[in-house]
Chains A and B, each alone.
Chain A
Amino acid sequence: MNRLAYIGFAIIAVIVVTAVFAPLFASWDAATVPDTALRLAPPSGTHWFGTDVLGYDVFSRVVYGARISLQVGVTVTIISAIFGMIIGAVAGFYGGFIDKFLSGYLFNVFLAFPGLLLAIALVAFLGAGLGKMILALCIIGWVGYARVMRGQVLKVREFDFVQAARAVGASNLRILFIHILPNAIQPLIVQASLGMAGAVLSEASLSFLGLGIPPPTPSWGTMIEDARTTYTIAPHTLLFPGLAIALTVLAFNFIGDGLREYLDPKQRRR
């Protein structure tokens, strides 16, 4: 695997440790109870990343914000991957009318809404909140996995070992889970790591638009939205959450790219 992928893994490891052991590095009180006497203070010994417009400690909020980002990222990726894999496998495996309906019609309908728009619309009508946001991101996320899975199943389905399994009388479910799935999983792992990047980015975008997690729960996107009026005089309020988002997304993209290159020998040779 290339060097960038290892850097990606290292960054993610740091972020995961930060999120899991957040109370060791930062205090929940400083992240959620504003110190109104200290607004927009520059970085210092007591406030490493300074304070924001309401007097929250930026460092504590960035640390606790990692929890929300990873929570949304992991949940959305797992749910949409499982759902997408099932639909994609069904489409690829059964073919015929089922495939025409699923890949010809259903996939196209979900792809007809550009990126975030469907999530924005859903949250706008359902109301903001963590659960609703996760639901909206899963609704836009599953199609990617379904398409990859369908393509893989179509390819693997024709291999000799699948025909052999069928010849000895294996059931459809057994063929699908024991024989096809393990051979189709590689591109899905790549898709999942790119999907994590997308989910973290979408969470931040929705929070930035005020459609994410309601305050005072710290989220990187919300922090940037709060900094929008103040960053010209206090750039640190924007810099640190921005850096956190960029690093996380960059790391997942590094991993995804590295894995793709690693798993696809054709690209490695280039």
Chain B
Amino acid sequence: MKYKVINILRQFGLLVLVVWTVVSLVTLLIELVPGDPAVAILGENATPEQIDSFRLKHGLDKPAFFFTYSRDPELYRGIREFEQQPKEKERRNEQWFVSNAVEDLLVDLRVREFRWHGADNRYMNYWTGVLHGDLGNSFKTDTPVLNLILERYPNTIKLALAAMFIAILIAIPLGVLAGTRKGSLVDNFSSFFALLGISLPTFVIGPFLVYLFAVKIQIFSATGSLYPEDIVLPAVTLGAALSAILTRMVRSSVIEELGEDYVRTARAKGLSERTVIYKHVLKNGLIPVVTILGLQLGVLLAGSIITEKIFAWPGLGLLLLDEGIAKRDYRLVQGCVLAISVTYIFANALTDWIYRRLDPRIRLS
């Protein structure tokens, strides 16, 4: 019992640690933008007043982190000009010489200064916001990022679940058929199908399906989400890779289970092959499949970024690409990345937990 509690606490601790790191990394992503984010967003023609008020509004006037160890650009240029002028010609001849790099580093270290800024910094402010359910306001439209995300997220989840459903619908019968008839034509076909599904990128499958089912045979519309059946093409596109992976899993799982003693016992009891496979083999064989499903939910959420773009499906991915990245709305990009990765982490943790419940052998080890 004591061991169990410690184990749960340890896993929970790790989960908290990972979430903390991921959120921190996302928070600091904005510091990667080359140059000044405010200038990047407002454009080169913005007046200094516009830039200042923008910075103030979005908290970009605050320091990035608790401390900085940055160089003073004025001082740096001064030292360079003063010290290096006579050497310039000599340096040019030996551009890749090690001493040059060392020299640069020494100058760099002299103009760097350690400064402590305290708790009022962008990192802390973003974290405080996250903990209060506030992901900041969009740089472009000034609406709360959280609202934008919540508006689009249900569409993405719907698409991911539909894709998963289609994948299961294809994979379980095909995998069982292939596993029980190893080496047969069905088996070879399923192997080929699986490799095809893994190798064909979504942005090839998607347009191909549109060409077939929206242009040649006009059953579905090519893009959008006006009608309920519009989800079919995106879901098949997104689920294709998963169904391939699952088919392989189910196949090898079935083959493995068929060799177990309990299968021989069941057969010796006189059970029909059908009962043996569907009641005994599949029940045990599906345990690893459940894990893959859980792990793949996050992959689907991320993979839907591309699918949503192909089909103009109004989900989180399209929000990230069209509103976030294309319009340089970095705050929105942060929010979307955060939402997707945190969902992924929790989906994985949940899967792990279900997996342990399902299989007592893992719980004990």
Contact = CB atoms under 8 A, between A and B. Distances in A.
A86 B182 CA distance: 40
Interface residues of B, number: 52
Given A114-B302, A120-B325, 20 more contacts: A105-B18, A105-B21, A108-B14, A109-B18, A112-B348, A114-B298, A116-B305, A117-B302, A117-B341, A121-B29, A121-B337, A125-B29, A205-B306, A209-B305, A209-B321, A228-B310, A238-B211, A245-B204, A249-B198, A253-B195
B18 A108 contact: yes
Interface in B113-163: none
Interface in B148-201: 182, 195-196, 198-201
Contact of A127 (B34, B302, B333): B34
A232 interface: yes
B120 to A, nearest CB: 23
Interface string A93-127: 00000000000110011001111110011101111
Nearest to A4: B195
Nearest to A221: B203
Contact of A232 (B215, B309, B341): B215
Given A105-B17, A115-B303, A117-B337, A125 B30 contact: yes
Interface in B232-290: 252, 255
Interface string B25-52: 1100110111000000000000000000
Interface of A: 4, 104-105, 108-109, 112-117, 120-122, 124-127, 197, 201, 204-205, 208-211, 221, 224-225, 227-228, 231-232, 235, 238, 242, 245-246, 249-250, 253-254, 257, 270
B32 A112 contact: no
Nearest to A241: B204
B293 interface: no
B304 to A, nearest CB: 10
Contacts of B207: 224, 227-228, 231, 238, 242
A250 B195 contact: yes
A224 B199 contact: no
Nearest to B309: A209
A245 B204 CA distance: 9
B305 A117 contact: yes
Contacts of A125: 29-30, 32-33, 330, 333
B243 to A, nearest CB: 16
Interface of B: 14, 17-19, 21-22, 25-26, 29-30, 32-34, 182, 195-196, 198-201, 203-204, 207-208, 210-211, 215, 222, 252, 255, 298-299, 301-303, 305-306, 309-310, 320-321, 324-326, 330, 333, 337, 340-341, 344-345, 348
Given A120-B305, A125-B330, A228-B310, A205 B203 contact: yes
21 contacts: A105-B21, A109-B22, A112-B21, A112-B341, A113-B341, A113-B344, A114-B341, A115-B303, A117-B340, A117-B341, A122-B29, A125-B330, A205-B201, A232-B211, A232-B215, A235-B211, A245-B204, A246-B199, A249-B201, A270-B252, A270-B255
Nearest to A109: B21
Contacts of A205: 201, 203, 306
Contact of B34 (A108, A112, A122, A126): A126
Nearest to B28: A125
